[in-house]
């Protein structure tokens, strides 16, 4: 999932893999051309439906830290709020796994502000967020 950090769309996936040693990374029977936007989109949709984004991220991040000895044994819970301008319709019932815009406590003493609260629990040593 390294390609995602470059903020590129899926249609360039096959070009990304053309310059990589795909056979060495994924096996002799796998070709760079197998990794095109349709296949990757379906795979990501299935992963999202079965596991969810948070669990995928945690699994990948934990595995990435292993070769350099980073562990996820202890965490630090932290939360921060982001103020949002504009009008938002929150009358509908909230969907699962969808960001909810709320009103509430504000350090700026404006409880009427629209806000989103982000809570993270990163590991102490590696800084990798737990889900």
Tell me the pLDDT tens digit for each residue of 52-108: 877 887 788 778 777 877 777 777 788 877 777 766 655 665 566 566 777 777 777
Task: Tell me whether residue 114 is in a domain.
Answer: yes
| pTM of the predicted structure, to 2 decimals | 0.44
Number of domains within the chain: 2
Token readout for 12 is 């360039």
Task: Tell me whether residue 66 is in a domain.
Answer: no
DSSP H or E segment with residue 122: strand 114-122
CA distances from 29 to 20, 22, 23, 34, 88 (A): 15, 9, 7, 10, 49
Task: Tell me whether residue 65 is in a domain.
Answer: no
Task: Tell me whether residue 60 is in a domain.
Answer: no
> 85: domain range?
78-130
CA gap 54, 69 in Å, rounded: 22
Task: Tell me whether residue 20 is in a domain.
Answer: yes
Task: Tell me whether residue 67 is in a domain.
Answer: no
């Amino acid at each position: 999932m390294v390609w995602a950090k470059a903020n590129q769309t899926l249609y360039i996936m096959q070009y990304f893999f053309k310059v990589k040693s795909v056979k060495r990374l994924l096996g002799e029977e796998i070709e760079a051309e197998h990794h095109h936007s349709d296949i990757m989109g379906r795979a990501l949709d299935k992963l999202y439906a079965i596991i969810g984004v948070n669990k995928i991220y945690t699994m990948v991040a934990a595995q990435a830290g292993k070769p350099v000895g980073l562990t996820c044994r202890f965490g630090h819970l932290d939360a921060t709020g982001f103020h949002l301008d504009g009008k938002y319709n929150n009358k509908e019932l909230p969907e699962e796994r969808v960001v909810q815009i709320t009103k509430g406590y504000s350090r700026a003493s404006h409880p009427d502000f629209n806000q989103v609260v982000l809570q993270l629990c990163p590991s102490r040593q590696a800084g990798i967020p737990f889900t």
